[in-house]
Amino acid sequence: MRLKRMFTAVDSHTEGMPTRVITGGVGVIPGATMNDKRLYFMEYLDDIRLFLMNEPRGHKAMSGAILQPSTRPDADWGVVYIEVSGCLPMCGHGTIGVATVLVETGMVDVQEPVTTIRLDTPAGLVIARVAVSDGHADSVTIENVPSYSVRLDDSVDVPGYGTLPYSLAFGGNFYAMVNLDAVNLSFDRASQEEILRAGLAIMSAINATNPPRHPEIDGLDHCHHVEFIAPGSTAQYSRHAMAIYPGWFDRSPCGTGTSARMAELWARGELALDQDFVNESFIGSKFTGRLVRETTVAGIPAVVPTITGRAWVTGIGQYLLDPSDPFPTGFQF
């Protein structure tokens, strides 16, 4: 066997959505903060992401996380998130996957009944509390970065769809929230191609006319996620289809999307602190969210959400590149 590259990984899924946790082979990414590392990685090391996420080693909804030494004294591990479309500043399902892998492989000091892991993410400090019994990670509650509503009940002209009402919020990434009824589509996986087409058209129209920008996180200046809210959803229980650039759906209930949705409901006065909010994904899996305290982001009223979900280890792998492989960065199909 001839090798040009080798990465070690522990694969997992969080409520149906994969997280390939890269435990070796990348080395320490240059950068004083985890967001600096993310920006450096995107500019100089993106071939690693493409190799690990694209076909044939990944697929069009592949997602992962690269473990790094923390850049801050108050965190145990650092994380750079990778997926088919780039490097998110924060990923909820990915963090639940990382915390589960760290516990199940013994890469942290495991305590029962709760192991607390402090993670240095590009979007800020995220605390994962893992419920552990008999050495098994049963569920993970993450305390996410401050989340806030950017605009409520705005509208955007979307070519082919007319003027559509939407709201926009930040929960670690920016999310446009649109009622599925507004695009006359049903909450049915048989409609996924049409839902995706509408989602891509909406994010493109928002980014062309009124893109969001995070006041404190460099390089976060676009919306790549549209959360289509299913009819019958309430401020306690919501179902959604999460359309993501460049063309896939989150299989999990989307931790950062759930955080954004709770921030939107809080800004409307429909969700108070310490109330459960259950968010169901397009495949029927669930996260339970809560808002635990109020705060501000650069003077903007914000809330700190927690998200509880489960992840399972699915494999341990070594991903290899033979020097004669004609697809060193994989491909999308």
**Between 231 and 250, how does the x/- string for binding to ligand PYC read (CB under 6 A)?**
-------------x-----x
Confirm whether 87 is a catalytic residue: no
Residue written as token pair 């491909």: 331
Confirm whether 254 is a catalytic residue: yes
Amino acid at site 270: E
What's the DSSP call for residue 95?
A: H
Pick from 19, 256, 285, 306 the residue near ligand PYC by CB under 6 A. 256
Span 12-41, contacts to ligand PYC by CB under 6 A: 17
What's the DSSP call for residue 215?
A: S
Nearest residue to 54 (alpha-carbon basis) of 318, 332, 245, 333: 332
Least distance to ligand PYC from the beta carbon of 256, Å? 3
First-to-last C-alpha distance (Å) of the chain: 27
Amino acid at site 280: E
Judged by CB under 6 A, which stretch of 27-35, 45-53, 191-199, 253-261 contacts ligand PYC?
Answer: 253-261
Which secondary structure element, helix H or strand E, spans residue 236, and what is its range?
Answer: none
Catalytic residue among 22, 34, 48, 91: 91
Least distance to ligand PYC from the beta carbon of 17, Å? 6
CA–CA distance from 130 to each of 72, 117, 135, 243 (Å)?
Answer: 21, 8, 11, 28
Q: Is the Cβ of residue 180 or residue 254 nearer to ligand PYC in the bound state?
A: 254
Span 191-220, contacts to ligand PYC by CB under 6 A: none
Least distance to ligand PYC from the beta carbon of 254, Å? 4
CA–CA distance from 219 to each of 21, 37, 286 (Å)?
Answer: 24, 12, 30
Pick from 254, 262, 263, 271 the residue near ligand PYC by CB under 6 A. 254
Which secondary structure element, helix H or strand E, spans residue 313, and what is its range?
Answer: strand 311-321
Residue written as token pair 């044939």: 56
Binding to ligand PYC by residue 45, rule CB under 6 A? no
CA angle 35, 259, 255 (to 5 degrees): 75
Judged by CB under 6 A, which stretch of 1-9, 32-40, 160-168, 254-262 contacts ligand PYC?
Answer: 254-262
Catalytic residue among 254, 262, 263, 321: 254
Residue written as token pair 């280890």: 313
Least distance to ligand PYC from the beta carbon of 287, Å? 8
Locate the DSSP E strands across 134-260: 136-143, 148-158, 162-170, 174-179, 225-229, 237-244, 248-249
Binding to ligand PYC by residue 85, rule CB under 6 A? no
State the number of binding residues for ligand PYC (CB under 6 A): 11
Q: Write phi, then psi, for 14 (nearest 5 degrees).
A: -110, 110
Which tokens belong to 139?
Answer: 């569920």
Q: Write phi, then psi, for 198 (nearest 5 degrees).
A: -65, -45
Q: Is the Cβ of residue 88 or residue 127 nearer to ligand PYC in the bound state?
A: 88
Binding to ligand PYC by residue 91, rule CB under 6 A? yes
Span 114-153, contacts to ligand PYC by CB under 6 A: none
Residue written as token pair 């903007």: 300
Residues paired with 313 in a beta bridge? 12
Least distance to ligand PYC from the beta carbon of 219, Å? 16
Q: Is the Cβ of residue 85 or residue 321 nearer to ligand PYC in the bound state?
A: 85
Pick from 31, 58, 64, 92 the residue near ligand PYC by CB under 6 A. 92
Q: Is the Cβ of residue 255 or residue 289 nearer to ligand PYC in the bound state?
A: 255
Pick from 18, 58, 255, 289 the residue near ligand PYC by CB under 6 A. 255
Binding region for ligand PYC (CB under 6 A): 17, 88, 91-93, 244, 250, 252, 254-256
The residues annotated with a catalytic role in the active site are: 91, 254
